[in-house]
Amino acid sequence: MLVVSRFTNLNKMEENKKQKGFTLVEIIVGLSIVSIGVLGVFSMVSRFSDYSKVIKDSFVASYLAQEGVEIVKNIRDSNKLKNDEVNYPWNFGLTQCSNGCEGSYDSNNLSVFSGDGRNLYLSDNGYKYSDGIETYYRRRITIGISVALINVFVASIKSQSRIIYSQELLEQSSYVLEYMNSKIRMAVKDVDGNCIVAGSTYNISGGGSSIRFISYDAEASDYTCKEFFLDNNLIKGRSSTDTSSSNFGAAFIIASPSFKVNSLKFSIFGDSIDNQPRVTTLINMHKEEQDGVTSKITIQSTASKRQLEI
């Protein structure tokens, strides 16, 4: 029995040895798989890191390229603003760039691109050709010009100028109307008749080009007599020190002198005991452009009296 038992134990030992050996192989294989997986992950992370750097560099480079375009546009527009076609034609400082130029954001001088070009440097002041740490970014600005493009450009500049003038005209007319309407809305009846006819809120004269009324004055912290009128193609206003028309101060210009007002007309509706009055203002104004073209506008606005005087 002892022999059998020992034999049995030996068999078990052999089995245990075999089992331990098999487990070790499994561990080795498992570690190999894990190592391959980890190496794959590290390789993937490394590739993603490279891709991320490429994307970042491309992103920065695209903005540096766009900056080059903006520099050229700025030089072109600055030439146009000088309004001197003889000494400063629109392409002044740009004609040398048919084969490439280099330019920096802090200068209007473009230098001819030579060889492989210069690397940009990065500092706290941005990307330039000096100061800071040298980068591997290089910028080449190439300008191609043809007769057809020049004609299109000139037409575009004129169109753009007209758009700008039209926008200025809209802004100016809007400002004038809003300024006058803000005073007209806050008008009150003249009880004593010192500013206009007693019992009325508004009074129009000068063929409709002048309106007078009493309204609250924030600067004086009191009600004063006010007047808006047309004088030599300019819209002007004046205010009294009190509710009397005999104490008017100096007239001031409301619309910019660069804008000429062809006509100004006020119309009153409903200024009676049982009607809340409102004032309609009609303005026709224009601005002369540099090329002789005139931007015009005819605009109308109505302001209703706010205060109910029952």
Asked if residue 61 lies in contact with residue 137, where contact means CB atoms within 8 angstroms, the answer is yes
Looking at the domain assignment, is residue 117 inside a domain? Answer: yes
Same domain, 224 and 289: yes
Same domain, 240 and 292: yes
Residues of the chain with pLDDT under 70: 1-56, 59, 81, 144-165, 273-274, 289-293, 309-310
Same domain, 181 and 127: no
Same domain, 172 and 130: no
Looking at the domain assignment, is residue 309 inside a domain? Answer: no
Same domain, 173 and 117: no
Same domain, 176 and 298: yes
Determine phi and psi for 93, rounding to 5 degrees: 85, 5
Determine phi and psi for 200, rounding to 5 degrees: -100, 160
Which pLDDT value is given to residue 30?
Answer: 59
Looking at the domain assignment, is residue 289 inside a domain? Answer: yes
Looking at the domain assignment, is residue 180 inside a domain? Answer: yes
Which pLDDT value is given to residue 28?
Answer: 61
Looking at the domain assignment, is residue 76 inside a domain? Answer: yes
Q: Which domain holds residue 35?
A: 1-145
pTM summary value:
0.51
Same domain, 256 and 287: yes
Same domain, 131 and 170: no
For residue 188, the cross-strand partners are: 214
Looking at the domain assignment, is residue 286 inside a domain? Answer: yes
Same domain, 106 and 214: no
Cβ neighbours around 34 below 10 Å, total? 10
Same domain, 115 and 190: no
Same domain, 176 and 297: yes
Domain boundary among 145, 180, 204: 145
Same domain, 171 and 110: no
Looking at the domain assignment, is residue 171 inside a domain? Answer: yes
Which pLDDT value is given to residue 125?
Answer: 75
> How many domains, the chain?
2
Looking at the domain assignment, is residue 310 inside a domain? Answer: no
